[in-house]
Amino acid sequence: MKVDNKYYQTVWMEGTSIYMIEQNLLPFEFKIFESKNYLQTCDAIKTMIVRGAGGVGVSAGFAMAQASIEASNLSKEKYNNYVYTALKNIQATRPTAQNLFMASDKVYEKSLISSEEAILEAQKIAKEDAWASKKIGEYGNEIIKPNSKIATHCNAGWLAFVDYGTALSPIYKANKEGKNIFVWVDETRPRSQGARLTAWELRNENVPHKIIADNATAHLMSRGEIDLIITGADRIVANGDTANKIGTLEKAIAANYYNIPFYIAAPTSTFDIKTKTGKDIIIEERSEDEILYQKGVNSDNKIEKILVASPGSRAFNPAFDVTPAELITGIITEKGIIKPENISEIF
Ligand code: MRU
């Protein structure tokens, strides 16, 4: 997608470096972060310089490729140990998004052949990520009626993938076709991916939108202000239960009560069909500081971190929740739109 008329992808690899849009600085500053080795890439995933299911997946694949390049002058045994340790380190960065495990496993397998094969595989995963997001936009556009008011949670836009995004990809397509849509953007506390990243993306693409407090969605549903909900996913298991950013579950419950279609948009790389139900999904717990403090810019345009809670109180910060399959109207994938109960048909 374009930023100030220049085309960017969220993450890419050139030579031995990985470049990524520094998402902790957005929307206040637009900067590219260069990661020179696989451990730096692991840190970038942990600290969320790069984030979103596709973003962490592609970065994990690239990190694995970096590790294989770093080890390429070692003896066979030392090379194998190095890439295996790298795989374990990469997979310890964040536990919930399936793409991270899918990509690092695939590139690891190729790294056992050669580092050239590992690089090719990592680049292929990045290309497929962008392609799948584009297709999701085409299929998802079919369910968007003219004049729709659509709600979304967190950021499942191009910043969460290599390009286009998932939940936002159909929205971009519908907007380009002049369907006169409007988007309600949940702010998505504690890290505010909605208020900071989704709103920034939608402004860049001239999509009419407003940011709302996370607890305003049910009220808007009760007043007929939401026609459709589309969110992303971090992991979809065999029975259709879906992990996504914390707060998704309560939107799905409210949507069900008010009979509002609730769609998940995700590529098949986010599906984990080896896991049977959502109960077995590991939910990441992040630092309590993300709840106790907020970051923003002051009047001098400098990014500042301020305490926004009662001093001395502790916080609990689960980063994801699981929406049961029965609350999901459909899943928009690059292969078409499927019902959660029909997942096995596309695998
Ligand atoms: O913690 P994050 O920002 O990496 O969260 C992942 C997400 O971006 C969301 O859960 C999103 O809706 C699904 S991933 C495109």
Q: Give me the pLDDT at residue 347, please.
A: 87
Ligand 1, closest atom to CA 245? 10
Instruction: Give the torsion sign (CA, 159, 163, 166, 169).
Output: positive
Q: What is the layout of strands, in order, in the sheet containing 262-265?
A: 209-212, 182-186, 149-152, 228-231, 262-265, 330-333, 336-338
The tokens for 73 are 């002058």
What whole-number distance in Å separates Cα of residue 21 and Cα of residue 197?
Answer: 12
Q: Supply the pLDDT for residue 119.
A: 98
Query: Which residue minimizes the CA distance to atom 6 of ligand 1?
Result: 52
Contact 245 CB / ligand 1 (< 6 Å): yes
Q: What is the pLDDT of residue 8?
A: 96
User: Which residue's structure tokens are 């890290």?
Assistant: 191
Q: Quote the pTM value.
A: 0.97
Does 227 participate in catalysis according to the annotation? Answer: no
What single-letter DSSP state applies at residue 215? G
- CA atoms within a 13 Å half-sphere pointing along the CA-CB vector of 57: 32
**For the domain bounded by 2-133, which CATH number is listed?**
1.20.120.420
| Ligand 1 centre distance from Cα of residue 74 (Å) | 37
- Which residue among 163, 186, 214, 234 is the active-site one? 234
CA gap 78, 237 in Å, rounded: 36
Instruction: For CATH 1.20.120.420, list the domain ranges present in the chain.
Output: 2-133
Spell out the alpha helix ranges (H) of 71-167. 76-91, 98-111, 115-141
Determine if ligand 1 sits within 6 Å of the CB of residue 232. yes
Topology annotation, domain 144-346: Rossmann fold (3.40.50)
3-state secondary structure of 159: helix
The encoded tokens of residue 75 equal 């003896």
Helices (H), the chain: 38-46, 53-70, 76-91, 98-111, 115-141, 168-176, 193, 199-204, 217-222, 248-257, 289-292
The residues pairing with 318 across neighbouring beta strands, listed in sequence order, are 285
Q: Name the segment(s) of the chain with CATH classification 3.40.50.10470.
A: 144-346
pLDDT of residue 10: 98
Work out which ligand 1 atom sits closest to the CA atom of 48: 4
Closest by CA position to 237, among listed 115, 90, 73, 347: 347
> Residue with structure tokens 């999904």?
281
Give DSSP secondary structure letters for 8-47.
--SEEEETTEEEEE-TTTTTT---EEEE-SHHHHHHHHHT
pLDDT of residue 42: 98
Q: How far is the CA of 96 from the centre of ligand 1 (A)?
A: 10
Nearest C-alpha neighbor of 318 from the set 249, 253, 263, 270? 249
Q: What is the pLDDT of residue 286?
A: 98
Decide if 59 contacts 13 (C-beta within 8 A): no
Q: Is residue 233 within 6 Å of ligand 1 at its C-beta?
A: yes
Q: Quick one: which of 269, 195, 260, 277 has its CA closest to 232? A: 269
The one-letter amino acid code at 62 reads F
Q: Is the CB of 166 under 6 A from ligand 1?
A: yes
Ligand 1 proximity of 193 Cβ (cutoff 6 Å): yes
330 lines ligand 1 (CB under 6 A): no
Per-residue confidence of the chain (347 residues) as pLDDT tens digits?
A: 999 989 999 999 999 999 999 999 999 999 999 999 999 999 999 999 999 999 999 999 999 999 999 999 999 999 999 999 999 999 999 999 999 999 999 999 999 999 999 999 999 999 999 999 999 999 999 999 999 999 999 999 999 999 999 999 999 999 999 999 999 999 999 999 999 999 999 999 999 999 999 999 999 999 999 999 999 999 999 999 999 999 999 999 999 999 999 999 999 999 999 999 999 999 999 999 999 999 999 999 999 999 999 999 999 999 999 999 999 999 999 999 999 999 998 88
Residues with Cβ < 8 Å from 87, sequence gap 6 or more?
Answer: 64, 67, 104, 105, 108
